[in-house]
């Protein structure tokens, strides 16, 4: 094997090591249907606030990566795609930040953050008709709700807050896969994760503090750590050096 080829292989291996590593929360539902469901969106005139609390132990696979979006899936196996027609939201905001442990949260949304809150998404949203497919158990995840500002996750418990306006267009709510709050702590609710909501997009406190947890895939960028980037640079330089010597 030539040295140039060896250097090229090193680059390939390094880049492969930086591949995207999304994480499904709860981890137990990565390839298994949740034991419940939850209609995340709402046709209510005042919209909705829905807040997740996720324990650090659920997120070990994405420490040091940028979270760039969220994905959901229909409760399985289901009988129809969703939405039947486009579902529109005048606003759909997402906030993220370090948070309290899932079993230590309160009804006050802001109090469940323990550090700076990062607005990772603002603006309107349209979910095209048929975006979420059915027929499997679990169903495949639907389109990514992309962030406008990535959230760099460095470890620890995490809080994610969704504030959405009234859903218009489609009149049926999103029947997403979920985990029953009534099943905790055996199914992990209240230990590895918890959730709460209010029927108002600008609510300060939750009206339901034991909401079913919506199964969610946290999408990451897979950007390598600085040390890996440095190794890539070294390997590229080495490849160029050996190519020049052979030339």
Give me the pLDDT at residue 235, please.
41
3-state SS assignment for residue 243: helix
Q: What is the strand order of the sheet 125-127 is part of?
A: 125-127, 87-89, 167-169
Give me the pLDDT at residue 222, please.
76
* pLDDT band of 2, cuts 50, 70, 90: low
Per-residue pLDDT reduced to its tens digit, 123-133: 999 999 999 99
Give every CB contact of residue 121 below 8 A, 6+ residues apart in sequence: 92, 93, 94, 145, 146, 147, 148, 149
In this structure, of 15-29, 62-76, 118-132, the range with the lowest mean pLDDT score is 15-29
Give me the pLDDT at residue 84, please.
98
Per-residue pLDDT reduced to its tens digit, 145-166: 999 999 999 999 999 999 999 9
Cα dist from 124 to 93, 163, 173, 210, whole Å: 8, 11, 18, 28
Distance between start and end Cα atoms, the chain: 17
Cα–Cα distance measured from residue 168 to residue 75, given in angstroms and rounded to the nearest whole number:
21
Give me the pLDDT at residue 223, please.
57
Mean pLDDT of 53-65: 97
Residue 241 has pLDDT above 90, yes or no: no
Q: Is the peptide bond prior to 15 cis by the omega test (within 30 degrees of 0)? A: no
Percent of the chain with pLDDT over 70: 82
Per-residue pLDDT reduced to its tens digit, 188-217: 999 999 999 999 999 999 999 999 999 999
In the predicted model, what is the mean pLDDT of the chain?
88
Give me the pLDDT at residue 239, please.
45
């Amino acid at each position: 094997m030539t040295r140039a080829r060896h250097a090229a292989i090193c680059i390939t291996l390094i880049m492969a090591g930086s591949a995207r590593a999304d994480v499904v929360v709860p981890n137990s539902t990565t390839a298994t249907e949740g034991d419940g469901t939850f209609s995340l969106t709402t046709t209510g005139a005042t919209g909705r606030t829905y807040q997740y609390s996720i324990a650090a132990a659920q997120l070990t696979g994405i420490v040091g990566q940028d979270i760039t979006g969220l994905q959901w899936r229909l409760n399985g196996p289901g009988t129809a795609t969703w939405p039947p027609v486009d579902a529109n939201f005048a606003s759909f905001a997402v906030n993220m930040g370090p948070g309290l442990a899932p079993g230590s949260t309160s009804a006050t949304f802001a109090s469940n953050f323990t550090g700076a809150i990062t607005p990772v998404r603002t603006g309107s949203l349209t979910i095209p008709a048929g975006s979420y497919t059915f027929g499997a158990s679990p169903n495949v995840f639907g389109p990514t709700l992309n962030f406008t500002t990535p959230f760099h996750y460095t470890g620890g418990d995490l809080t994610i807050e969704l504030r959405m306006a009234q859903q218009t267009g489609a009149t049926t709510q999103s029947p997403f896969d979920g985990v029953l709050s009534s099943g905790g702590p055996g199914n992990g609710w209240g230990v590895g994760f918890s959730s709460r909501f209010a029927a108002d997009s600008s609510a300060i406190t939750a009206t339901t503090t034991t909401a079913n947890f919506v199964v969610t895939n946290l999408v990451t960028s897979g950007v390598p750590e600085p040390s890996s980037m440095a190794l890539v640079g070294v390997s590229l330089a080495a490849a160029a050096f050996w190519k020049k010597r052979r030339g």
